[in-house]
Amino acid sequence: MSEHQPLLDPIDPQRRKVMGVIVGVINLGLIGAIVGPVVGFAASPMKSKMKETWVELMDEHLIAPGEIKEVNFSMRVVDGYHEVERKYTVFLRRSEEGVLCLDPACTHLGCRVEYQSDRRRFICPCHGGVFDEEGRVKSGPPPKPMDRHPVKIEGGKIWISREV
Amino acid sequence: MSKRPTYEPHESPSLTPEVRVDLPREASEQERLQLDRPAFRDWLELRVGWYGFVRKNLDEPMPPGVGWWQTLGNLLLTLLMFQFVTGIALAMFYSASPETAHASVKHITFNVTLGSFVRGLHVWGSTLIVVVMVMHTLRVFFWGSYKKPRELTWVVGVLIFQVILGFSFTGYLLPWDQKAYWATVVGTRIAATVPFVGDSLLLLVRGGPEVGALTLTRFYAAHVMLLPAALMGLVAIHLYLVRRHHIAGPVLPQRGRPVPFYPNQLFKDAVVLLVGVGMLIYMAIGFPPALEGIADPTGTDFSPRPEWYFLGLYELLKIMPAGYEMLATVVIPGLISIGMLFLPWLDRSDSRHPARRQWIITSGMAVILLIGLMTLKGILETPPPHEVPGETPEVVAAK
């Protein structure tokens, strides 16, 4: 091979360009073929919706006026690939207006609040949120009052509706 | 028969990417191509180039003044390999479902031969990696080693930093105990504070509205597939760039010529690896990994606290007034991340000397002080014990 002869056969620049574009398009197609379905598949839970379900909690007479009761219960929920019995907690408070049902998840970042009867306050152990007995923010970082669940009383039983 | 080629280290290696040390060898390879029965070493060298590669790395030029501080990267790499190997072993016994995850980790910890030790290596390894990674990053920061032409080495390093924090966050859930569950409830809720897309992001991260079976499989997939793949790619690029540009050396160039990596620096590396890995083994044996009671959404027998290196963020969330939590969840961590990523372009000074980079050093120190103080506050402020009658933590003690 002489020194001046190029190492590779020259290819028509136009042909090079056209084929380069075709290779680029094919590559884009390949990327789309893998990324599209995988993203659609992995992100599918973003479409999941919760639905309201009524659940019976306890006898109405078991909670006295002014009292706050922590009630544990379980509901059958669909958890991904299977149906499970999932445990939940709510706080019930009886007042003159009726029965109030408060969700124990702190509205700040979702830790479970505890009721301290001596202070008559709900306290979040994570970032120090404090709520009063009606679930209103008294201090700390929570941006809004505690969530309430709809309550109905039927046949002497307290029912609440929860999104699951 | 030609004379066996030898490398002469006194022929000082150049600091350009085209290291000249292989020159005498290339010629002799042509000669050895003609041999009918080459030595196995030569046979392999011709086909794989392995010996050339090893020798090139052992002869990597070290500028004068390079020493103990430059051993941290190697320690980090070794610790990551330990995580990789112990992780594969743990995956052989682990089962990622809410029904079985806790039981399988309990089985690993208390029944499987060497289970507590292997899990201990993995748990303590994650802590040690964060410590060494922070030291490595601080060294590069204060030495100004991220300056031209090493900007992208730094950027890739910052990405590795974030991937490692991702490992910690996803790995924390896997034992499916109280601590794991509640840290993830809170940690994923952070996604919901992102403006506009927060609610969708929360569903994407959790795999549904609540932390459950799909959160666990999602985190497991990320922890053992997605993040390791990302980490391997990034580490490969990082190492390639480190080798391409060589080690930056001290802030002020010192007298003398570069010396090869082997034996002086490799010896220092080996000593540091011995100490680092020794410490890891000591912790894995001396402080066996704990396992709390199984995740219980109704339970109050827990202290919902993240891993110690996220305590800074946790404390920051505490002091944010109502309605401003986004500052602590998105804005401040986001600004720190962006600041770290773009550091080589924020710091415009020509000099690597800390005294000539005052504003960048001051800002860096402020951020380090903020994170340090917040973390310290979090460590000191252990929450009050839960005194609910009849409810005691089912902390499984190592027997």
| Max intra-chain CA distance, chain A | 105
B389 in any annotated domain: no
Query: Does any domain span residue B258?
Result: no
- Residue in B closest to A43 by C-alpha: B204
Q: What is the mean pLDDT of residues B372-380?
A: 91
- What burial letters (b/e) apply to A27-58, b meaning 16+ CB within 10 Å? eeeeeeeeeeeeeeeeeebbeeeeeeeebebe
- Answer whether B98 sits within 8 Å of A84, measured CB to CB: yes
Across the interface, do B322 and A128 touch by the CB < 8 Å criterion?
A: no
**Candidates A126, A131, A147, partner chain B, best to mutate (most B CBs within 10 A):** A126
Q: Which domain holds residue B71?
A: 67-251+264-380
Kindly report each contact of residues B87-93 with a partner whose C-beta sits within 8 Å and lies 24 or more positions away, as own/partner: B87/B122, B87/B224, B87/B228, B89/B118, B90/B118, B90/B119, B90/B122, B91/B224
Q: What is the dihedral of CA A117, A120, A126, A127, to 10 degrees?
A: -160
B242 by DSSP, 3-state: which? helix
The b/e string for B269-279 (b: 16+ C-beta within 10 A; e otherwise) is beebbeebbee
pLDDT given for residue B395 in this prediction? 41
Instruction: Look at residue A95 in the predicted model and tell me its pLDDT.
Output: 85
Rounded to whole angstroms, the Cα distance separating A36 from A140 reads 43
Across the range B264-284, mean pLDDT stands at 97
CB within 8 Å: A126 and B320 = no
The reported pLDDT for the residue numbered A98 is 87
- Position B387 scores a pLDDT of 39
> What pLDDT is stored for residue A4 in this prediction?
66
Across the interface, whether the CB atoms of A143 and B303 are under 8 A apart is answered no
Q: Is B36 within the bounds of a domain?
A: no
Task: Indicate if the pLDDT at residue B226 is higher than 70.
Answer: yes
Please indicate whether, in this complex, the C-beta atoms of A80 and B321 are within 8 angstroms of each other.
no
Q: Which of A46, A110, A125 sits opposite B189 (nearest CB)?
A: A110
The predicted model gives B312-327 an average pLDDT of: 86
Q: How far apart are CA A53 and CA A162, in angstroms?
A: 5
**Cα gap B286→B264, rounded to integer Å:** 33
* B35: confidence class by pLDDT, cuts 50, 70, 90: low
Residue B22 has pLDDT above 60, yes or no: no
**Is residue B31 in some structural domain?**
no
**Does residue B398 sit within a domain?**
no
Read off the pLDDT of each residue in B11-27 and give the average, rounded to a whole number: 51
How confident is chain A (164 residues) per 10-residue block, as mean pLDDT? Answer: 68 92 98 97 91 91 91 92 92 90 93 92 90 93 93 94 88
To probe the interface with A, which of B205, B210, B225 has the most A CB atoms within 10 Å?
A: B210
How much is the pLDDT for B305? 80
| For B322, nearest residue in chain A (alpha carbons) | A141
Q: Which of B183-187, B214-218, B266-270, B336-340 has the lowest average pLDDT?
A: B183-187
pLDDT of residue B394: 40
CATH code of the domain covering residue B85: 1.20.810.10
| Euclidean distance between CA atoms A125 and A3, whole angstroms | 80
| Contact call for residues B247 and B63 (beta carbons, < 8 A) | yes
**Among the partner residues B206, B213, B304, nearest to A81 by beta-carbon distance:** B213
Give the Cα separation of B186 and B314 in Å (integer): 10
Cβ <8 Å between A143 and B212? no
Instruction: Verify whether the Cβ–Cβ distance B318 to A127 is below 8 Å.
Output: yes
Across the interface, whether the CB atoms of A109 and B190 are under 8 A apart is answered yes
CA A14 to chain B, closest CA, distance in angstroms equals 34
Pairwise pLDDT comparison (A156 vs B35), residue with the higher score: A156
CB contact under 8 A, A126 and B325: no
Distance of CA B365 to the CA centre of its chain: 21
B200 close to A (CB below 8 A): yes
Question: Phi and psi for B248 in degrees, rounded to 5?
Answer: -70, -30
Look at B208 and A79 and tell me if their CB atoms are within 8 Å: yes
Which tokens sit at B382? 């252990």
Query: In Å, how far is A146's CA from the nearest CA of chain B?
Result: 13
In a domain, B156, yes or no: yes
- Looking at residue A163, its pLDDT comes to 87
Instruction: Return d(Cα B215, Cα B204) in angstroms, integer.
Output: 9
Yes or no, beta carbons of B325 and A80 under 8 Å apart: no
Contact in structure between A164 and A75 (CB atoms under 8 Å)? yes
- What are the structure tokens assigned to B391, written together? 């409810």
Q: Which residues of B touch A85 (CB under 8 A)?
A: none
Strand ranges (E), chain B = 61-62, 259-260
Give the per-residue pLDDT at B399: 30
Instruction: Determine what percent of chain B is predicted with pLDDT higher than 90.
Output: 68
Is the pLDDT at B10 greater than 60? The verdict is no
Residues of B in contact with A127 (CB under 8 A): 314, 317-318
Q: With contacts defined as CB-CB under 8 Å, which chain A residues touch B203?
A: 45-46, 48
- Among B206, B303, B325, select the one facing A108 at the smallest CB separation: B325
State pLDDT tens for residues B148-173. 999 999 999 999 999 999 999 999 99
Rounded Cα gap, residues B17 and A120, in angstroms: 71
Tokens of A144: 């809004």
Confidence of residue B390 (pLDDT cuts 50, 70, 90): very low
ipTM above 0.95, yes or no: no
User: Do the chains contact at B296 and A111, CB–CB below 8 Å?
Assistant: no
Interface of B with A in 262-301 (CB under 8 A): 296-300
Number of domains in chain B: 1
Looking at residue B27, what is its pLDDT?
46
Q: What pLDDT shows up at residue B397?
A: 36
Higher pLDDT, B380 or B239: B239
Q: Is B64 on the interface with A (CB under 8 A)?
A: no
Selection from A158, A52, A157, A142 nearest residue A100 by Cα: A158
Q: What is the mean pLDDT of residues B141-145?
A: 95
CB contact under 8 A, B208 and A80: yes
User: Does the beta-carbon distance from B209 to A79 stay under 8 Å?
Assistant: no
Instruction: Please state whether B359 falls in left (phi above 0), alpha (psi between -120 and 50) or beta.
Output: alpha
The closest alpha carbon to B277, from B164, B167, B130, B128, belongs to B128
Which of chain A's residues have a Cβ under 8 Å away from the Cβ of B185?
Answer: 109-111
- Within 8 A of A163 by CB-CB distance, chain B residues are 209
> Which H or E element spans position A101?
strand A98-102
Residues of A in contact with B323 (CB under 8 A): 143
Please check whether the domain covering A52-163 is classified as CATH 2.102.10.10. Answer: yes
Buried b / exposed e over A108-145, threshold 16 CB at 10 Å, is bbbbbbbbeeeeebbbbbbbbbbbebebebeebbbeee
pLDDT at B81 over 50: yes
Q: Pick from B212, B318, B386: which is nearest to A80 by CB?
A: B212
